[in-house]
Amino acid sequence: MPEEEYQLIVIGGGAAGFFAAITAAEAGLNKILILEKTAEVLSKVRISGGGRCNVTHDCYDPKELVQNYPRGEKNLIGPFHHFQPADTIAWFSEHGVTLKTEPDGRMFPTSDRSETIINCLTDAAHNQRITWRTRCTASEVKITPQGFQILNTLGHSYRSQKLLIATGGLRSKDAAQALIDLRQDHSPTVPSLFTFKIGDIRLHDLQGISVPHARIKIGSLQSEGPLLITHWGLSGPAILKASAWGARKLADCDYRFKIEVNWTGQHDTESLSTIFQTQRKTNGTRRVYKRSPLENITKRLWQRMCESSSISPESTWSTLTKDQSTRLIKELTCATFTVDGKSLNKDEFVTCGGVPLDDLHLKTMESKHLPGLYFAGEVLDIDGITGGFNFQAAWTTGHLAGTAIAKHSTRAPSKPS
C-alpha cells in the first residue's frame, strides 16, 4: 500500500480529536485523517453521562469555570476566553443539536441520548470529507524532513505536515507511544473521580441512603455536596470531588486513609446541642430513636447513628445522658471512617496527569518544542470534576488546536487588488 499523505493527522477518534478535526476542516483545511485504535470512534461519548452525555456545564465566567478543574485550573482561563460553554452550546445548536440544563447545571442533549452527539460529530466530519480509520493503532511516530510519519501496527505509513495527539488518558502504552517517540514529557497518570471503599459496620445495609449536603475532610482536603452510601462504601459528588482534588495525594497513600464526615453539612457541636436541648424541653417523652430532628437525616441513618452511640430504642429525649448526646453529635458531625481502597464510579472516570501545559502555547495547543505538533483533550494534564467539565476541556482544547492548525496550514487570503 502506498504511503498516504494528509494535511493533518489526528491520533485518537474521541471527542477532542473529532472536534479539532471538524474545526480545522470548517476553517478551510483539506485532507484530514483520524486514526482510531478501537472498532468504534467516540466510544466514550457513547457511555458518557450514563448514556446521556453530559456535554458541558451551565457556567459562563471563565474564572468561575476553572474552579472545577483540579488540574489545569489557572492555565485554562485564557483558553476558556476563546471557547467556553456558551460557544459549545452555540456550536451544537448550529449543527442541529439543542442542549438542556438540569437543576444542578449539567447540560445534556434534549434527546437525553449520547447517540445524538455522536451522530452530530460524525455527520459534521462526514460533511467536511474528513476520513477516519478504526482498528488502526498509531504505533510509531517519526519526524522526517517531509513532516510527521505515522506507522500503524500493520506497518502502513501515513504522512502529514501537522499532527494532533488526542489519545485520551494515558492509561495504555498505545496512548503514550506517540509521546515517547516524540520525546514529549508527560507526568505519570493516576485515576481521578473514584469512590471510596469502606468496610464499616455503621454503613452496613444502608446502601442507597443519601444526604443532600455533607461535608467531608481528609486531612487538609475538604469537600462538600451530596453524599451517597453504596454497597462498598461512600460515593456521590462530595466524594468524587475529593477524589479529584486529592487524586495524587490519595494515590500516594495507596487509597488507605481516614475520612471525617459531617452528615448534616451545616451543623456543629454547638448548634446540635441547642437542637437537642429544645427536643428535651418540648419532646422530652418522645423516643430519640423514633425520629430524627434533622430534616435531611433519614430514619434508617438516624437509627444507625443512635445504635452506634449506644442509645437504646427505649431512650427518650429527657433520659438521654450527656455521654450519649456527645456521641450522637460526634456521629452526626465528625464520624471517622477508614478508607481501604477505591472503586471506580461507573458513570465517570478520568485520569490526572499527562502532557504538561507549560510545554504548549495555550492559544494554539501547539508544542513549544516541536512546531506542527498539537495536543487536545485528556492527554493533557487537565481534568475536571463531574458535571460536563471534562468534555468542555476536550471541546475547548480541540477547538483551539483545530483553528490554529487551519490558520497555519492554509495560505492567507490575498488582498483584492
User: Does residue 17 interact with ligand FAD by CB under 6 A?
Assistant: yes
C-alpha dihedral sign at 85, 65, 225, 249: positive
How many chain residues interact with ligand FAD (CB under 6 A)?
Answer: 37
User: Does residue 390 interact with ligand FAD by CB under 6 A?
Assistant: yes
**DSSP per-residue letters across 242-298:** HHHHTHHHHHHTTTEEEEEEETTSS--HHHHHHHHHHHHHHSTTSBGGG--SSTTS-
Applying the rule CB under 6 A, the residues between 201 and 260 that interact with ligand FAD are none
- CA-to-CA dists, residue 219 to 48, 246, 249, 337, angstroms: 32, 10, 10, 13
Applying the rule CB under 6 A, the residues between 32 and 61 that interact with ligand FAD are 35-38, 43-44, 47-49, 53-54
Query: Can you tell me the distance from the alpha carbon of 289 to that of 266, in angstroms, rounded to the nearest whole number?
Result: 22
User: Does residue 85 interact with ligand FAD by CB under 6 A?
Assistant: no
Expressed in angstroms, the distance from the first to the final Cα of the chain is 45
Query: Can you tell me the distance from the alpha carbon of 174 to that of 237, in angstroms, rounded to the nearest whole number?
Result: 32
Least CB distance to ligand FAD at residue 137 (A): 4
Site string for ligand FAD, 113-152 (x = CB under 6 A): ------------------------xx--------------
Question: Can you tell me which of 84, 177, 192, 409 binds ligand FAD, judged by CB under 6 A?
Answer: 177
Among 105, 113, 115, smallest CA distance to 85 is for 105
Question: Can you tell me which of 102, 115, 174, 260 binds ligand FAD, judged by CB under 6 A?
Answer: 174
Question: Which C-beta is closer to ligand FAD: that of 328 or that of 380?
Answer: 380
Question: Can you tell me which of 8, 10, 13, 292 binds ligand FAD, judged by CB under 6 A?
Answer: 13
Radius of gyration, CA atoms only, the chain: 26
Residue pair 147/341 in contact (Cβ under 8 Å)? The answer is: no
Query: Can you tell me the distance from the alpha carbon of 328 to that of 307, in angstroms, rounded to the nearest whole number?
Result: 9
Question: Which C-beta is closer to ligand FAD: that of 70 or that of 265?
Answer: 70
Question: Which C-beta is closer to ligand FAD: that of 125 or that of 328?
Answer: 125
Tell me which residues touch ligand FAD (CB under 6 A): 11-17, 35-38, 43-44, 47-49, 53-54, 137-138, 166-168, 174-175, 177, 347-350, 377-378, 388-391, 394
